[in-house]
Structure 1
Amino acid sequence: MNSFNKKKEDTLKHRLITIAVLIPLVITTLFLLSPTKFGFVIIIICTLSAWEWGQFAGFQSQTKRIGLAIIFAIILLVIQFSFQDITNLINEPIIFYSLLIGIIWWIIAILLVITYPISAFWSNSVVALLLFCLLTIIPFYCGMMILRTISYQNNTFFGAWLLLYIMLLVWGSDSGAYAFGRTIGRNKLAPKISPGKTWEGLFGGLIVSEIISLLFISITPIYIIPNYLLSTSIIVVVISVFGDLAESMYKRQSGIKDSSNLIPGHGGILDRIDSLTAAVPVFAGLNLLIFKWFGF
Protein backbone atom coordinates (compact mmCIF):
# COMPACT_ATOMS: atom_id res chain seq x y z
CA MET A 1 0.00 0.00 0.00
CA ASN A 2 2.84 2.37 0.86
CA SER A 3 4.50 1.83 -2.53
CA PHE A 4 1.14 2.36 -4.21
CA ASN A 5 0.59 5.66 -2.37
CA LYS A 6 4.18 6.70 -3.16
CA LYS A 7 3.52 6.03 -6.84
CA LYS A 8 0.33 8.12 -6.72
CA GLU A 9 2.18 10.97 -5.00
CA ASP A 10 4.96 10.87 -7.61
CA THR A 11 2.41 10.88 -10.42
CA LEU A 12 0.58 13.85 -8.87
CA LYS A 13 3.88 15.72 -8.42
CA HIS A 14 4.81 15.12 -12.07
CA ARG A 15 1.36 16.27 -13.17
CA LEU A 16 1.57 19.51 -11.18
CA ILE A 17 5.08 20.28 -12.44
CA THR A 18 4.02 19.57 -16.02
CA ILE A 19 0.94 21.79 -15.69
CA ALA A 20 3.06 24.60 -14.25
CA VAL A 21 5.32 24.39 -17.31
CA LEU A 22 2.62 23.87 -19.93
CA ILE A 23 0.29 26.73 -18.95
CA PRO A 24 2.83 29.50 -19.70
CA LEU A 25 3.79 27.70 -22.93
CA VAL A 26 0.16 27.54 -24.06
CA ILE A 27 -0.44 31.22 -23.26
CA THR A 28 2.77 32.22 -25.04
CA THR A 29 1.92 30.14 -28.12
CA LEU A 30 -1.60 31.56 -28.36
CA PHE A 31 -0.89 35.24 -27.76
CA LEU A 32 2.73 35.99 -28.60
CA LEU A 33 3.48 33.94 -31.70
CA SER A 34 2.69 35.12 -35.23
CA PRO A 35 0.23 32.97 -37.22
CA THR A 36 3.12 31.40 -39.14
CA LYS A 37 5.06 30.44 -36.01
CA PHE A 38 1.83 29.32 -34.35
CA GLY A 39 1.22 27.06 -37.33
CA PHE A 40 4.69 25.54 -36.98
CA VAL A 41 4.00 24.75 -33.30
CA ILE A 42 0.71 23.05 -34.21
CA ILE A 43 2.50 21.09 -36.95
CA ILE A 44 5.01 19.84 -34.36
CA ILE A 45 2.16 18.79 -32.06
CA CYS A 46 0.36 17.04 -34.93
CA THR A 47 3.58 15.33 -36.05
CA LEU A 48 4.18 13.93 -32.57
CA SER A 49 0.53 12.84 -32.46
CA ALA A 50 1.00 10.96 -35.74
CA TRP A 51 4.09 9.28 -34.28
CA GLU A 52 1.99 8.14 -31.31
CA TRP A 53 -0.83 7.03 -33.59
CA GLY A 54 1.57 4.59 -35.24
CA GLN A 55 1.01 2.30 -32.23
CA PHE A 56 -2.73 2.16 -32.96
CA ALA A 57 -1.91 1.05 -36.50
CA GLY A 58 0.28 -1.72 -35.12
CA PHE A 59 3.64 -0.15 -36.01
CA GLN A 60 6.05 -1.72 -33.54
CA SER A 61 9.27 -0.39 -35.03
CA GLN A 62 10.36 3.20 -34.45
CA THR A 63 11.34 3.43 -38.12
CA LYS A 64 7.75 3.02 -39.27
CA ARG A 65 6.39 5.37 -36.62
CA ILE A 66 8.96 8.06 -37.41
CA GLY A 67 8.24 7.59 -41.11
CA LEU A 68 4.53 8.15 -40.45
CA ALA A 69 5.32 11.30 -38.46
CA ILE A 70 7.53 12.64 -41.27
CA ILE A 71 4.78 12.05 -43.84
CA PHE A 72 2.29 14.03 -41.74
CA ALA A 73 4.82 16.81 -41.16
CA ILE A 74 5.33 17.14 -44.91
CA ILE A 75 1.58 17.16 -45.60
CA LEU A 76 0.96 19.88 -43.01
CA LEU A 77 3.90 21.98 -44.15
CA VAL A 78 2.64 21.80 -47.75
CA ILE A 79 -0.79 22.93 -46.55
CA GLN A 80 0.64 25.85 -44.55
CA PHE A 81 2.90 27.05 -47.35
CA SER A 82 -0.01 26.84 -49.80
CA PHE A 83 -1.97 29.54 -47.95
CA GLN A 84 -2.22 32.76 -49.94
CA ASP A 85 -2.46 34.87 -46.78
CA ILE A 86 -2.00 33.06 -43.48
CA THR A 87 -3.72 35.91 -41.63
CA ASN A 88 -6.88 35.51 -43.71
CA LEU A 89 -7.83 31.85 -44.14
CA ILE A 90 -11.59 32.25 -44.34
CA ASN A 91 -11.68 31.67 -48.11
CA GLU A 92 -9.00 28.96 -48.32
CA PRO A 93 -10.53 25.84 -49.99
CA ILE A 94 -8.36 23.45 -47.95
CA ILE A 95 -9.75 24.96 -44.75
CA PHE A 96 -13.36 24.74 -45.95
CA TYR A 97 -13.17 21.14 -47.13
CA SER A 98 -11.07 19.95 -44.19
CA LEU A 99 -13.60 21.29 -41.70
CA LEU A 100 -16.50 19.83 -43.68
CA ILE A 101 -14.77 16.45 -43.75
CA GLY A 102 -13.95 16.86 -40.05
CA ILE A 103 -17.62 17.31 -39.11
CA ILE A 104 -18.63 14.28 -41.19
CA TRP A 105 -15.78 12.23 -39.71
CA TRP A 106 -16.76 12.99 -36.11
CA ILE A 107 -20.35 11.98 -36.81
CA ILE A 108 -18.97 8.66 -38.06
CA ALA A 109 -16.56 8.40 -35.12
CA ILE A 110 -19.44 8.92 -32.67
CA LEU A 111 -21.30 6.04 -34.32
CA LEU A 112 -18.18 3.86 -34.03
CA VAL A 113 -17.90 4.68 -30.32
CA ILE A 114 -21.59 4.08 -29.63
CA THR A 115 -21.61 0.71 -31.40
CA TYR A 116 -18.24 -0.52 -30.10
CA PRO A 117 -17.13 -3.37 -30.01
CA ILE A 118 -19.44 -4.40 -32.85
CA SER A 119 -17.99 -1.55 -34.91
CA ALA A 120 -14.38 -2.71 -34.41
CA PHE A 121 -14.13 -4.06 -37.96
CA TRP A 122 -11.28 -1.59 -38.43
CA SER A 123 -9.08 -3.06 -35.70
CA ASN A 124 -7.03 -5.27 -38.02
CA SER A 125 -6.88 -2.81 -40.90
CA VAL A 126 -3.76 -0.65 -41.04
CA VAL A 127 -5.31 1.34 -43.90
CA ALA A 128 -8.44 2.13 -41.87
CA LEU A 129 -6.45 3.21 -38.81
CA LEU A 130 -4.16 5.44 -40.87
CA LEU A 131 -7.23 6.95 -42.53
CA PHE A 132 -8.68 7.64 -39.07
CA CYS A 133 -5.39 9.39 -38.21
CA LEU A 134 -5.61 11.55 -41.32
CA LEU A 135 -9.27 12.43 -40.65
CA THR A 136 -8.43 13.40 -37.07
CA ILE A 137 -5.19 15.34 -37.44
CA ILE A 138 -5.69 17.35 -40.65
CA PRO A 139 -9.07 18.89 -39.64
CA PHE A 140 -7.61 19.59 -36.18
CA TYR A 141 -4.70 21.52 -37.71
CA CYS A 142 -7.02 23.45 -40.05
CA GLY A 143 -9.42 24.21 -37.19
CA MET A 144 -6.61 25.55 -35.01
CA MET A 145 -5.33 27.75 -37.82
CA ILE A 146 -8.68 29.23 -38.84
CA LEU A 147 -9.67 29.93 -35.25
CA ARG A 148 -6.34 31.57 -34.43
CA THR A 149 -6.52 33.86 -37.47
CA ILE A 150 -10.22 34.69 -37.54
CA SER A 151 -10.67 38.48 -37.56
CA TYR A 152 -6.88 38.74 -37.27
CA GLN A 153 -6.68 41.88 -39.40
CA ASN A 154 -9.14 43.64 -37.08
CA ASN A 155 -7.92 42.23 -33.77
CA THR A 156 -4.73 40.16 -33.65
CA PHE A 157 -5.69 38.61 -30.31
CA PHE A 158 -9.31 37.70 -30.97
CA GLY A 159 -8.51 34.22 -32.29
CA ALA A 160 -6.15 33.60 -29.36
CA TRP A 161 -8.95 34.39 -26.92
CA LEU A 162 -11.30 32.13 -28.87
CA LEU A 163 -8.88 29.18 -28.74
CA LEU A 164 -8.20 29.78 -25.05
CA TYR A 165 -11.96 29.72 -24.52
CA ILE A 166 -12.30 26.33 -26.23
CA MET A 167 -9.38 24.88 -24.28
CA LEU A 168 -10.78 26.09 -20.94
CA LEU A 169 -14.21 24.83 -21.93
CA VAL A 170 -12.99 21.34 -22.82
CA TRP A 171 -10.50 20.97 -19.96
CA GLY A 172 -12.98 22.45 -17.47
CA SER A 173 -15.66 20.07 -18.67
CA ASP A 174 -13.26 17.15 -18.29
CA SER A 175 -12.39 18.18 -14.73
CA GLY A 176 -16.06 18.70 -13.89
CA ALA A 177 -16.96 15.31 -15.33
CA TYR A 178 -14.23 13.69 -13.23
CA ALA A 179 -15.40 15.42 -10.02
CA PHE A 180 -19.08 14.68 -10.54
CA GLY A 181 -18.36 11.15 -11.71
CA ARG A 182 -16.24 10.38 -8.65
CA THR A 183 -18.80 11.76 -6.20
CA ILE A 184 -22.22 10.85 -7.63
CA GLY A 185 -21.46 8.77 -10.71
CA ARG A 186 -23.54 5.59 -10.92
CA ASN A 187 -24.56 5.01 -14.53
CA LYS A 188 -21.75 4.10 -16.93
CA LEU A 189 -21.50 6.16 -20.11
CA ALA A 190 -19.39 3.78 -22.20
CA PRO A 191 -18.43 0.80 -20.01
CA LYS A 192 -16.86 -1.19 -22.86
CA ILE A 193 -14.50 1.66 -23.71
CA SER A 194 -13.91 3.76 -20.58
CA PRO A 195 -15.49 2.25 -17.42
CA GLY A 196 -14.70 5.36 -15.38
CA LYS A 197 -16.96 7.70 -17.37
CA THR A 198 -20.56 8.14 -16.21
CA TRP A 199 -23.68 9.96 -17.37
CA GLU A 200 -23.62 11.96 -14.14
CA GLY A 201 -20.09 13.02 -14.99
CA LEU A 202 -21.16 14.09 -18.48
CA PHE A 203 -23.96 16.29 -17.15
CA GLY A 204 -21.66 17.65 -14.43
CA GLY A 205 -19.11 18.52 -17.09
CA LEU A 206 -21.79 20.34 -19.08
CA ILE A 207 -22.73 22.39 -16.02
CA VAL A 208 -19.11 23.36 -15.37
CA SER A 209 -18.55 24.22 -19.03
CA GLU A 210 -21.57 26.52 -19.10
CA ILE A 211 -20.33 28.31 -15.97
CA ILE A 212 -16.93 28.73 -17.65
CA SER A 213 -18.63 30.04 -20.78
CA LEU A 214 -20.62 32.67 -18.86
CA LEU A 215 -17.59 33.77 -16.86
CA PHE A 216 -15.37 33.93 -19.91
CA ILE A 217 -17.86 36.10 -21.79
CA SER A 218 -18.15 38.50 -18.87
CA ILE A 219 -14.43 39.05 -18.21
CA THR A 220 -12.72 38.71 -21.60
CA PRO A 221 -12.88 40.80 -24.80
CA ILE A 222 -14.80 38.25 -26.88
CA TYR A 223 -17.63 40.06 -28.60
CA ILE A 224 -19.68 37.09 -29.81
CA ILE A 225 -23.42 36.95 -29.13
CA PRO A 226 -23.58 35.05 -25.81
CA ASN A 227 -26.59 32.88 -26.72
CA TYR A 228 -24.87 31.68 -29.88
CA LEU A 229 -21.68 30.94 -28.00
CA LEU A 230 -23.51 29.01 -25.29
CA SER A 231 -25.47 26.84 -27.72
CA THR A 232 -22.38 26.05 -29.77
CA SER A 233 -20.42 25.34 -26.60
CA ILE A 234 -22.86 22.64 -25.50
CA ILE A 235 -22.43 20.83 -28.81
CA VAL A 236 -18.66 21.15 -28.66
CA VAL A 237 -18.42 19.83 -25.09
CA VAL A 238 -20.48 16.74 -26.00
CA ILE A 239 -18.34 16.21 -29.11
CA SER A 240 -15.16 16.58 -27.03
CA VAL A 241 -16.29 13.70 -24.82
CA PHE A 242 -16.50 11.49 -27.90
CA GLY A 243 -13.04 12.68 -28.93
CA ASP A 244 -11.75 11.34 -25.61
CA LEU A 245 -13.76 8.12 -25.99
CA ALA A 246 -12.55 7.60 -29.55
CA GLU A 247 -8.91 7.65 -28.47
CA SER A 248 -9.74 5.35 -25.55
CA MET A 249 -11.36 3.00 -28.05
CA TYR A 250 -8.21 2.90 -30.20
CA LYS A 251 -6.01 2.34 -27.14
CA ARG A 252 -8.25 -0.41 -25.77
CA GLN A 253 -8.31 -2.19 -29.10
CA SER A 254 -4.52 -1.89 -29.33
CA GLY A 255 -3.90 -2.90 -25.71
CA ILE A 256 -2.21 0.44 -24.92
CA LYS A 257 -2.61 2.41 -21.67
CA ASP A 258 -1.05 5.74 -22.75
CA SER A 259 -0.31 6.97 -26.27
CA SER A 260 3.29 7.63 -25.10
CA ASN A 261 5.29 9.04 -22.17
CA LEU A 262 6.20 12.36 -23.76
CA ILE A 263 4.41 14.40 -21.07
CA PRO A 264 5.46 13.35 -17.54
CA GLY A 265 2.47 12.38 -15.45
CA HIS A 266 0.05 12.92 -18.33
CA GLY A 267 0.95 10.26 -20.89
CA GLY A 268 1.28 11.36 -24.50
CA ILE A 269 0.28 14.25 -26.73
CA LEU A 270 -2.86 12.46 -27.90
CA ASP A 271 -3.84 11.80 -24.28
CA ARG A 272 -3.90 15.58 -23.73
CA ILE A 273 -5.45 16.77 -27.00
CA ASP A 274 -7.85 13.90 -27.79
CA SER A 275 -10.88 16.00 -26.77
CA LEU A 276 -9.56 19.03 -28.65
CA THR A 277 -9.06 17.04 -31.87
CA ALA A 278 -12.85 16.71 -31.94
CA ALA A 279 -13.86 20.02 -30.34
CA VAL A 280 -11.70 22.37 -32.44
CA PRO A 281 -12.70 21.30 -35.98
CA VAL A 282 -16.36 20.89 -35.00
CA PHE A 283 -16.47 24.32 -33.35
CA ALA A 284 -14.73 25.91 -36.33
CA GLY A 285 -16.81 23.96 -38.82
CA LEU A 286 -20.14 24.80 -37.21
CA ASN A 287 -19.33 28.51 -37.16
CA LEU A 288 -17.64 28.70 -40.57
CA LEU A 289 -19.97 26.42 -42.52
CA ILE A 290 -23.26 26.84 -40.65
CA PHE A 291 -23.35 29.94 -38.44
CA LYS A 292 -21.03 31.98 -40.67
CA TRP A 293 -18.85 33.17 -37.80
CA PHE A 294 -21.79 34.84 -36.04
CA GLY A 295 -21.94 37.47 -38.77
CA PHE A 296 -18.19 38.30 -38.89
Structure 2
Amino acid sequence: MTRTRLLAALVMAPVAIAAILLLPTPWMIAVAAVLFLAGLWEWFDLAEIEDTLSRTVLLVAHLALMVTIVWASRSGGFGGAQAPSMVLFKLASLIGVIWWLLALLWLQRFNFASDHRTYARMFKLAAAALSVIPAWCALAWIHAEGSNGHWWLLTALAVVWAADTGAYFAGRKFGMLKLAPRVSPNKTVEGLIGGAFAGVAAGVGFSLLAGATTAQLPWVAVVSLAAVLFSVVGDLFESLLKRHAGVKDSGHLIPGHGGILDRIDGVLAALPVFALGKAIFGF
Protein backbone atom coordinates (compact mmCIF):
# COMPACT_ATOMS: atom_id res chain seq x y z
CA MET A 1 0.00 0.00 0.00
CA THR A 2 2.83 2.41 0.82
CA ARG A 3 4.38 1.88 -2.61
CA THR A 4 1.04 2.50 -4.31
CA ARG A 5 0.49 5.68 -2.29
CA LEU A 6 3.98 6.89 -3.17
CA LEU A 7 3.59 6.24 -6.89
CA ALA A 8 0.22 8.00 -6.95
CA ALA A 9 1.70 10.96 -5.08
CA LEU A 10 4.62 11.17 -7.51
CA VAL A 11 2.12 11.53 -10.34
CA MET A 12 -0.25 13.95 -8.63
CA ALA A 13 2.26 16.29 -6.96
CA PRO A 14 4.01 17.65 -10.09
CA VAL A 15 0.65 18.28 -11.77
CA ALA A 16 -0.69 20.12 -8.73
CA ILE A 17 2.48 22.19 -8.30
CA ALA A 18 2.55 23.12 -11.99
CA ALA A 19 -1.08 24.25 -11.85
CA ILE A 20 -0.50 26.35 -8.73
CA LEU A 21 2.62 28.07 -10.05
CA LEU A 22 1.74 28.46 -13.73
CA LEU A 23 -1.98 29.06 -13.96
CA PRO A 24 -3.37 32.59 -13.56
CA THR A 25 -5.84 33.00 -10.72
CA PRO A 26 -9.05 32.70 -12.84
CA TRP A 27 -7.91 29.34 -14.20
CA MET A 28 -6.56 28.22 -10.85
CA ILE A 29 -9.84 28.78 -9.07
CA ALA A 30 -11.72 27.10 -11.93
CA VAL A 31 -9.54 23.99 -11.63
CA ALA A 32 -9.91 24.09 -7.84
CA ALA A 33 -13.68 24.37 -8.19
CA VAL A 34 -13.77 21.20 -10.28
CA LEU A 35 -11.63 19.35 -7.73
CA PHE A 36 -13.59 20.59 -4.72
CA LEU A 37 -16.93 19.83 -6.36
CA ALA A 38 -15.73 16.31 -7.10
CA GLY A 39 -14.97 15.94 -3.40
CA LEU A 40 -18.38 17.41 -2.63
CA TRP A 41 -20.03 14.74 -4.78
CA GLU A 42 -18.35 12.11 -2.59
CA TRP A 43 -19.49 14.00 0.51
CA PHE A 44 -23.09 13.62 -0.70
CA ASP A 45 -22.51 9.88 -0.74
CA LEU A 46 -21.31 9.97 2.87
CA ALA A 47 -24.41 12.02 3.74
CA GLU A 48 -26.44 9.22 2.14
CA ILE A 49 -27.94 11.31 -0.63
CA GLU A 50 -28.52 8.40 -2.98
CA ASP A 51 -30.74 9.97 -5.63
CA THR A 52 -28.63 11.14 -8.57
CA LEU A 53 -30.98 14.00 -9.43
CA SER A 54 -30.89 15.34 -5.87
CA ARG A 55 -27.11 15.15 -5.78
CA THR A 56 -26.87 16.91 -9.14
CA VAL A 57 -29.15 19.73 -8.00
CA LEU A 58 -27.09 20.17 -4.83
CA LEU A 59 -23.86 20.20 -6.82
CA VAL A 60 -25.21 22.80 -9.25
CA ALA A 61 -26.37 24.92 -6.30
CA HIS A 62 -22.84 24.96 -4.86
CA LEU A 63 -21.39 25.78 -8.27
CA ALA A 64 -23.89 28.61 -8.64
CA LEU A 65 -22.78 30.00 -5.27
CA MET A 66 -19.15 29.94 -6.41
CA VAL A 67 -20.05 31.72 -9.65
CA THR A 68 -22.11 34.28 -7.72
CA ILE A 69 -19.20 35.06 -5.40
CA VAL A 70 -16.90 35.65 -8.38
CA TRP A 71 -19.53 37.72 -10.19
CA ALA A 72 -20.32 39.83 -7.13
CA SER A 73 -16.61 40.42 -6.50
CA ARG A 74 -15.76 41.70 -9.94
CA SER A 75 -14.52 45.29 -10.30
CA GLY A 76 -12.89 44.85 -13.65
CA GLY A 77 -13.02 41.08 -13.15
CA PHE A 78 -10.43 38.41 -12.50
CA GLY A 79 -7.72 39.06 -15.03
CA GLY A 80 -9.20 42.45 -15.93
CA ALA A 81 -7.68 45.89 -15.69
CA GLN A 82 -8.80 46.22 -12.07
CA ALA A 83 -8.29 43.68 -9.35
CA PRO A 84 -11.48 42.07 -8.03
CA SER A 85 -12.70 42.84 -4.54
CA MET A 86 -11.77 40.01 -2.16
CA VAL A 87 -14.23 40.98 0.58
CA LEU A 88 -16.58 38.05 0.00
CA PHE A 89 -13.66 35.63 -0.25
CA LYS A 90 -12.28 36.92 3.05
CA LEU A 91 -15.67 36.76 4.75
CA ALA A 92 -16.21 33.20 3.55
CA SER A 93 -12.75 32.23 4.82
CA LEU A 94 -13.58 33.62 8.26
CA ILE A 95 -16.85 31.67 8.27
CA GLY A 96 -14.83 28.57 7.42
CA VAL A 97 -12.55 29.03 10.43
CA ILE A 98 -15.56 29.46 12.71
CA TRP A 99 -17.19 26.36 11.28
CA TRP A 100 -14.14 24.16 11.89
CA LEU A 101 -14.00 25.35 15.49
CA LEU A 102 -17.63 24.26 15.86
CA ALA A 103 -16.77 20.96 14.17
CA LEU A 104 -14.61 20.18 17.20
CA LEU A 105 -17.80 20.02 19.26
CA TRP A 106 -19.34 17.63 16.73
CA LEU A 107 -16.30 15.38 16.95
CA GLN A 108 -16.76 15.18 20.71
CA ARG A 109 -20.31 13.92 20.17
CA PHE A 110 -19.78 10.90 17.96
CA ASN A 111 -23.46 9.92 17.77
CA PHE A 112 -24.72 13.35 16.73
CA ALA A 113 -26.46 13.02 13.32
CA SER A 114 -25.31 9.41 13.11
CA ASP A 115 -28.71 8.01 12.18
CA HIS A 116 -30.20 8.00 8.70
CA ARG A 117 -33.01 10.48 9.15
CA THR A 118 -33.61 13.65 7.20
CA TYR A 119 -32.29 16.00 9.88
CA ALA A 120 -28.96 14.11 9.98
CA ARG A 121 -28.57 14.56 6.23
CA MET A 122 -29.36 18.26 6.56
CA PHE A 123 -26.63 18.76 9.14
CA LYS A 124 -24.11 16.92 6.98
CA LEU A 125 -25.09 18.87 3.87
CA ALA A 126 -24.70 22.14 5.79
CA ALA A 127 -21.28 20.94 6.94
CA ALA A 128 -20.39 20.24 3.31
CA ALA A 129 -21.19 23.78 2.22
CA LEU A 130 -19.36 25.28 5.20
CA SER A 131 -16.30 23.18 4.40
CA VAL A 132 -16.03 23.41 0.61
CA ILE A 133 -17.07 26.99 -0.19
CA PRO A 134 -14.84 28.73 2.42
CA ALA A 135 -11.85 26.54 1.47
CA TRP A 136 -12.30 27.42 -2.19
CA CYS A 137 -12.60 31.12 -1.30
CA ALA A 138 -9.46 30.93 0.85
CA LEU A 139 -7.57 29.30 -2.02
CA ALA A 140 -8.65 32.11 -4.35
CA TRP A 141 -7.75 34.77 -1.78
CA ILE A 142 -4.25 33.40 -1.22
CA HIS A 143 -3.52 32.87 -4.91
CA ALA A 144 -4.83 36.27 -6.01
CA GLU A 145 -3.13 38.39 -3.36
CA GLY A 146 0.19 39.96 -4.32
CA SER A 147 2.73 38.96 -6.92
CA ASN A 148 3.79 35.89 -4.93
CA GLY A 149 0.30 34.61 -4.20
CA HIS A 150 0.92 31.43 -6.17
CA TRP A 151 3.95 30.66 -4.01
CA TRP A 152 1.98 31.32 -0.84
CA LEU A 153 -0.74 28.93 -1.99
CA LEU A 154 1.91 26.31 -2.64
CA THR A 155 3.24 26.98 0.87
CA ALA A 156 -0.20 26.49 2.41
CA LEU A 157 -0.73 23.22 0.56
CA ALA A 158 2.81 22.04 1.27
CA VAL A 159 2.08 22.42 4.98
CA VAL A 160 -0.87 20.02 4.70
CA TRP A 161 0.93 17.58 2.40
CA ALA A 162 4.01 17.46 4.63
CA ALA A 163 1.91 17.10 7.77
CA ASP A 164 -0.04 14.24 6.22
CA THR A 165 3.16 12.47 5.16
CA GLY A 166 4.91 13.11 8.47
CA ALA A 167 1.93 11.84 10.43
CA TYR A 168 1.69 8.71 8.28
CA PHE A 169 5.31 7.66 8.76
CA ALA A 170 5.63 8.82 12.38
CA GLY A 171 2.44 6.98 13.23
CA ARG A 172 3.63 3.78 11.57
CA LYS A 173 7.03 3.96 13.29
CA PHE A 174 6.19 5.21 16.77
CA GLY A 175 2.40 5.25 17.07
CA MET A 176 1.07 3.88 20.36
CA LEU A 177 -1.28 6.48 21.86
CA LYS A 178 -4.57 6.68 19.97
CA LEU A 179 -5.66 10.20 19.09
CA ALA A 180 -9.39 9.59 18.54
CA PRO A 181 -9.97 5.83 18.59
CA ARG A 182 -13.72 5.96 18.09
CA VAL A 183 -13.47 8.29 15.10
CA SER A 184 -10.24 7.12 13.45
CA PRO A 185 -8.48 4.16 15.14
CA ASN A 186 -5.31 4.49 13.05
CA LYS A 187 -4.49 8.07 14.05
CA THR A 188 -2.05 8.47 16.92
CA VAL A 189 -0.66 11.24 19.09
CA GLU A 190 2.83 10.40 17.83
CA GLY A 191 1.59 10.79 14.28
CA LEU A 192 0.10 14.18 15.15
CA ILE A 193 3.42 15.33 16.61
CA GLY A 194 5.39 14.06 13.62
CA GLY A 195 2.95 15.71 11.26
CA ALA A 196 3.16 19.00 13.15
CA PHE A 197 6.96 19.08 12.90
CA ALA A 198 6.87 18.22 9.20
CA GLY A 199 4.14 20.74 8.44
CA VAL A 200 5.83 23.62 10.23
CA ALA A 201 9.15 22.80 8.58
CA ALA A 202 7.50 22.79 5.16
CA GLY A 203 5.70 26.05 5.91
CA VAL A 204 8.89 27.84 6.93
CA GLY A 205 10.89 26.39 4.03
CA PHE A 206 8.38 27.16 1.30
CA SER A 207 7.63 30.60 2.74
CA LEU A 208 11.19 31.61 1.92
CA LEU A 209 10.42 30.84 -1.71
CA ALA A 210 7.29 32.98 -1.36
CA GLY A 211 9.38 35.92 -0.18
CA ALA A 212 8.98 35.77 3.61
CA THR A 213 11.53 37.76 5.58
CA THR A 214 13.50 36.39 8.51
CA ALA A 215 11.38 38.45 10.91
CA GLN A 216 8.22 36.88 9.50
CA LEU A 217 9.35 33.27 9.88
CA PRO A 218 8.16 32.85 13.51
CA TRP A 219 4.68 33.97 12.48
CA VAL A 220 4.76 31.68 9.48
CA ALA A 221 5.60 28.83 11.85
CA VAL A 222 2.68 29.73 14.14
CA VAL A 223 0.21 29.89 11.25
CA SER A 224 1.60 26.67 9.78
CA LEU A 225 1.11 24.90 13.12
CA ALA A 226 -2.47 26.19 13.32
CA ALA A 227 -3.09 25.00 9.76
CA VAL A 228 -1.73 21.55 10.64
CA LEU A 229 -3.98 21.27 13.68
CA PHE A 230 -7.03 22.33 11.70
CA SER A 231 -6.12 19.90 8.91
CA VAL A 232 -6.28 17.13 11.51
CA VAL A 233 -9.76 18.31 12.48
CA GLY A 234 -10.78 18.15 8.83
CA ASP A 235 -9.33 14.68 8.48
CA LEU A 236 -11.07 13.47 11.64
CA PHE A 237 -14.37 14.99 10.59
CA GLU A 238 -14.32 13.12 7.29
CA SER A 239 -13.44 9.96 9.22
CA LEU A 240 -16.50 10.59 11.40
CA LEU A 241 -18.70 10.83 8.31
CA LYS A 242 -17.23 7.59 6.97
CA ARG A 243 -17.87 5.85 10.30
CA HIS A 244 -21.48 6.97 10.21
CA ALA A 245 -21.84 5.76 6.62
CA GLY A 246 -19.99 2.49 7.30
CA VAL A 247 -17.37 2.93 4.55
CA LYS A 248 -13.56 2.90 4.56
CA ASP A 249 -12.91 5.49 1.83
CA SER A 250 -14.94 8.29 0.27
CA GLY A 251 -14.19 6.80 -3.15
CA HIS A 252 -11.76 4.71 -5.14
CA LEU A 253 -10.54 7.14 -7.78
CA ILE A 254 -6.93 7.48 -6.55
CA PRO A 255 -4.95 4.23 -6.10
CA GLY A 256 -3.75 3.88 -2.52
CA HIS A 257 -5.41 7.13 -1.46
CA GLY A 258 -9.14 6.47 -1.79
CA GLY A 259 -11.34 9.22 -3.17
CA ILE A 260 -10.91 12.92 -3.88
CA LEU A 261 -12.38 13.85 -0.50
CA ASP A 262 -9.87 11.59 1.24
CA ARG A 263 -7.10 13.75 -0.26
CA ILE A 264 -8.60 17.19 0.35
CA ASP A 265 -10.27 16.75 3.76
CA GLY A 266 -7.32 18.33 5.59
CA VAL A 267 -6.95 21.01 2.93
CA LEU A 268 -10.57 22.08 3.37
CA ALA A 269 -9.92 22.93 7.02
CA ALA A 270 -6.37 24.26 6.69
CA LEU A 271 -6.77 26.77 3.85
CA PRO A 272 -9.14 29.22 5.62
CA VAL A 273 -6.89 29.18 8.70
CA PHE A 274 -3.74 29.80 6.67
CA ALA A 275 -5.39 32.59 4.66
CA LEU A 276 -6.68 34.33 7.77
CA GLY A 277 -3.39 33.89 9.64
CA LYS A 278 -1.47 35.25 6.67
CA ALA A 279 -3.66 38.34 6.66
CA ILE A 280 -3.45 38.86 10.42
CA PHE A 281 0.35 38.59 10.61
CA GLY A 282 0.96 40.36 7.31
CA PHE A 283 3.27 38.00 5.50
TM-score by length of 2: 0.89
Does the 8 Å contact 1:50/1:68 carry over to 2?
no
What residue ranges of structure 2 are gaps of 5+ in the alignment? none
After superposition, the Cα gap between the structure-2 partners of 1:217 and 1:138, relative to the gap in structure 1 and judged at 3 Å, is closer
> Residue 217 of structure 2: which of 206, 226, 232 is its match?
226
Partners of 2:116 and 2:217 lie apart in 1 by 42
Task: Report percent identity of matched pairs.
Answer: 34
Which residue is 1:187 aligned to? 177
Counterpart amino acid of 2:30? F
Q: What are the Cα deviations for residues 209-232 of structure 1, in whole angstroms up to 9, with x where unaligned? A: 2332343345x2422511110111
Residue in 2 that maps onto 1:244: 235
Q: Deviation of residue 64 (structure 1)?
A: 2.5
Counterpart of 1:195 in 2: which secondary structure?
strand
- Distance in structure 1 (CA, Å) of the matches to 2:169 and 2:8: 21
Kindly provide the amino acid, as one letter, of the partner of residue 236 in structure 1.
Answer: A
Distance 2:169 2:163 in 1: 10
1:33: which partner in 2?
23
Partner of 2:245: 254
Residues 1:105 and 2:92 are matched in the alignment: no
How far the C-alpha of 1:65 sits from its partner, in A, is 2.2
Q: Which residue number corresponds to residue 279 of structure 1?
A: 270
CA distance in 1, matches of 2:263, 2:276: 22
Contact 1:194-1:248 at 8 Å conserved across structures: yes
Change (3 A) 1:214 1:31: closer
Task: After TM superposition, list the pairs within 5 Å mapping 1:94-133 onto structure 2.
Answer: 94-113=88-107, 115-120=108-113, 124=117, 125-133=120-128
Aligned to 1:80, the other structure's residue is in SS state helix
Quick one: distance in 2 between partners of 1:200 and 1:40? 37
Note if contact 1:48-1:69 (Cα within 8 Å) is conserved in structure 2. Answer: no
- Give the Å deviation of 1:132: 0.5
Kindly state the Cα deviation for residue 170 of structure 1 after the two structures are TM-superposed: 1.1
Amino acid of the residue matched to residue 281 of structure 1? P
Change (3 A) 1:123 1:245: farther
Q: State the alpha-carbon separation in 2 of the partners of residues 149 and 191 from structure 1.
A: 39
What is the root-mean-square deviation of aligned Cα atoms in Å? 2.1
Stretch of structure 1 that moved more, 174-183 or 128-137:
174-183
What is the Cα deviation at residue 54 of structure 1? 1.0
**Distance in 1 between the 2:224 and 2:13 partners?**
22
**Does 2:138 correspond to 1:143?**
yes
Would you say 1:45 and 2:35 are equivalent positions? yes
Deviation at 1:104, TM superposition (A): 0.8
TM-score by length of 1: 0.85
Q: Is the 8 A contact 2:179 2:189 kept in 1?
A: yes
Q: Structure 1 residues 92, 22: closer, same or farther in 2, change over 3 A?
A: same
Please list, as runs of the form range in 1=range in 2, the aligned pairs for 1:154-169 lying within 5 A after superposition: 155=147, 158-169=148-159
